[in-house]
Chains A and B, each alone.
Chain A
Amino acid sequence: MTRTLHRFHGGIHLPDQKALSLGRPLRQAALPSELVLPLQQHIGAAAQPLVAVGERVLEGQMVARPEGFVSAPVHAPTSGTVIAIEARPVPHPSGLSALAIVLQPDGEGRTVEYQPHSDWSALDPSTLRNLIRDAGIVGLGGAGFPTAVKLNPGPHTAVETLILNGAECEPYITCDQWLMQERPEEIISGALIMRHALQAQECLIGIEDNKPAAIAALRSEVARRGLTEAIEVVEVPTRYPMGGEKQLIKVLTGKEVPTQGLPIAVGVVCHNVATAASVHRAVELGEPLIRRIVTVTGHGAAQPGNFEVPLGIPMGELLAQAGGTTAGFSRLIMGGPMMGITVEQPQAPVIKTANCLLAVTDDELERRAPVRPCIRCGSCAEACPVSLLPQQLYWYAKSKEFDRAQDYNLFDCIECGCCAFVCPSNLPLVQYYRYAKTEIWAQEREKRASDQARRRHEYRVAREERERLEKEARAKKKAAALAEGESDDKKAAIQAAIERAKAKKAQANATPPATDPPAEQPAGEGAAPAEEKH
């Protein structure tokens, strides 16, 4: 183990608080009265429901199929009846609702017949990827990117390094640590499958050095299987945000993921250790992603610990199963204290990316100090793991100079929260960046909409002009005819009327009565433009 580690700029040391949830053994969460399965639990397009209300489903049955390439299906975590497909509160900072399939468990636990593939090494990477995609696996570390997409490097890209991320750098969270300590065989099996799917040359597992038991467990598993040549378990320093994909890649390989790019651009693919374990279950057991390990912790939770939970269990229910809240409880957070999102509605379900349920007390937050003006102390720039200048981004976000914010690489910000953590003025810096990012996206949407509106308006103006000219031409013609002689004109008019009647008759016979005779319309105010346009 003589790998030379690199370092990333900045980062901070945090009190890890991990012992809080490691005191108890894993508990199995009891089935709740209903499971809420949002159609979007991943990055990409929302899944499309495959079931109807009232339909009975089996455990492991796909209830929503992926829509498009970057998407993931949803499976029923247990057998039961679909009682609704409607908007339900989901864990999102906005507190808004989103479409979800609501399942009432019948408690029978009847499963679909799982198709194990113990001979996966004989399968080609593409087949493996499809297995993983159909199992609904997404990144379990928090981002939720569909795993099958990440396992597809493209035809001409060689993958040098597969990295399994076991850093788990956020304080409080221990679900990955528990998994590494108790189920190392699943992680290693998953790593081998992923390595095969990617045809990667080497596989590294990066773990922060505050988890010696996890490191030892994985190392002995690697040794037991005689894989020391293939898989290397690397101890990395404990420094937040070590578990950030870009940071871990830098530390382990010295390579930097280019801005706006993916790790594959430098020949690296990075997956969470829990994702690897679920890949193992999907391929070797045939079981789709229907449950995960969740850490329920914080001083606001009465009996913190790790739980194996069916996806879709309401967070409040899970918290209740962990003994409920303590007296000082103030806030429920999904994820860690640095990047987690506040959950306003406890009926929001545990989704695929929910690694931790953090019930905090006021004392833990230390947020009560008033916000003061920035004194440009530069602590934020020192802490930033991406070497940004957070104080400049803050100025420009606040003054809505989004162009300048982008000049200062706003979109390279990973929202890790280091800057806001160290800020002596207590500025909510990350929220400023999120504000600026979502504003910029909204402006881009509005720009597209206004460009579209301009084109439509210009088209309409052109059409009106054309019609006016045509009308004038007709009027001129008429005037000319009038000048030629009144009798002629009268004759002509009668002739024309006869002609029209004939035509009308012929047309009425030719076309089904439901359709409007187009000839009678006063030239084209109607539906046409939408189709005519492009």
Chain B
Amino acid sequence: MLTAIFAVAALAVAFGLLLGFAAIRFRVEGDPVVEKIDALLPQTQCGQCGFAGCRPYAEAIASGEVEINRCPPGGETVVLALADLLGRDAAPLEGGEQQKLKAAIDEQTCIGCTLCLQACPVDAILGAPKHMHTVITTECTGCELCLEPCPVDCIAMVPVKLEIATWRWPLPKPPANREEGPRP
């Protein structure tokens, strides 16, 4: 009886030490999961997920507070990638798939108020006070954050033009049997 107690106690101490040692020895600085999630997000900083940007959303996902399907700009691709990374189930995208849009300023109407410049999370709008603004199209993430502040509603979201260089083959219609189910 006594030996048993001692043995168990000794084991407990040994494993406690081992775990303590491991905790110090293999300590991970920061939270790499957040980094990994953030790397998958499209960085539109649009806030459509309900968070103030991509990184806050990544932190919320990492802490398990929210579903992984709240990023409309990322689309199904991001949901699948997140599901793969986190081992969670891929839920269907909230709000469905979106067309890719970019902001365009109607330069006739723009009054040069700089409000959109302040709203743009990636500094993709070029302009100065009382001078016409313009969107750097290549840098625009399509977050739509500039629409709301514009006092004259001169910003419109324009679909990205289809080009041969970026054209994608469509997925063939699946055979009648079923759509899902990879086989390893």
Contacts and interface: CB of A to CB of B under 8 A. Distances in A.
Do these two chains interact?
yes
A66 B170 CA distance: 31
B123 A529 contact: yes
Q: Tell me the interface secondary structure of chain B in the complex.
A: loop
Nearest to A426: B175
B118 A452 contact: no
B116 to A, nearest CB: 10
B175 A526 contact: no
Interface stretch (A167-175, A398-406, A493-501): A398-406
B167 A94 contact: yes
Contact of B123 (A434, A456, A516): A456
A119 interface: no
Interface in B138-184: 139, 141, 162-164, 166-178, 180-183
Interface string A433-453: 011011100110110011111
A424 to B, nearest CB: 12
Contacts, number: 120
B152 to A, nearest CB: 18
Given A395-B183, A399-B182, A526-B127, A427 B167 contact: no
B117 interface: yes
B181 A438 contact: no
B164 A372 contact: no
A459 interface: yes
A453 B114 contact: no
Nearest to A442: B168
Nearest to A445: B166
Given A453-B45, A460-B123, A438 B169 contact: yes
B47 interface: no
Contacts of A454: 38, 43, 54
Interface residues of B, number: 47
Contacts of A452: 139
A46 B46 CA distance: 35
B80 A400 contact: yes
Interface in B12-30: none
A435 B171 contact: yes
A4 to B, nearest CB: 40
Given A96-B163, A431-B169, A435-B170, A457 B43 contact: yes
Contacts of B77: 400, 439, 443, 446
Contact of B128 (A373, A374, A526): A526
**Which of A370, A398, A434, A442 is most buried by chain B, counting CB atoms within 10 A of its CB?**
A398
A98 interface: yes
A366 interface: no
Nearest to B136: A530
Contact of A428 (B129, B172, B178, B183): B172
A431 B171 CA distance: 7
A229 interface: no
**Which of A371, A374, A443, A457 is most buried by chain B, counting CB atoms within 10 A of its CB?**
A457
Contact of B164 (A96, A398, A425): A96
Contact of A456 (B139, B167, B169, B176): B139
B82 interface: no
Interface string A323-367: 000000000000000000000000000000000000000000000
A142 to B, nearest CB: 17
B37 interface: no
A408 to B, nearest CB: 12
A432 interface: yes
A162 interface: no
A93 interface: yes
B122 A442 contact: no
B139 A453 contact: yes
Contact of A525 (B44, B118, B131, B182): B118
A493 to B, nearest CB: 25
A531 to B, nearest CB: 11
A435 B182 contact: no
**Which of A401, A452, A456, A530 is most buried by chain B, counting CB atoms within 10 A of its CB?**
A456
A526 B126 CA distance: 7
Nearest to B173: A371
Contacts of B76: 400
A456 B122 contact: yes
Interface of A: 40, 90, 92-94, 96, 98, 370-374, 395-396, 398-401, 403-404, 425, 427-428, 431-432, 434-435, 437-439, 442-443, 445-446, 449-454, 456-457, 459-460, 516, 521, 525-527, 529-530
12 contacts: A373-B177, A398-B174, A435-B171, A445-B166, A450-B141, A456-B124, A457-B121, A459-B123, A516-B128, A525-B114, A530-B123, A530-B136
Interface of B: 38, 41-45, 53-54, 76-77, 80, 84, 114, 117-118, 121-124, 126-129, 131, 136, 139, 141, 162-164, 166-178, 180-183
Q: Which 4 A-B pairs have the closest CB atoms?
A: A453-B43, A373-B177, A456-B122, A399-B182
Given A449-B141, A453-B122, A516-B128, 5 more contacts: A398-B171, A457-B122, A460-B122, A526-B114, A530-B139
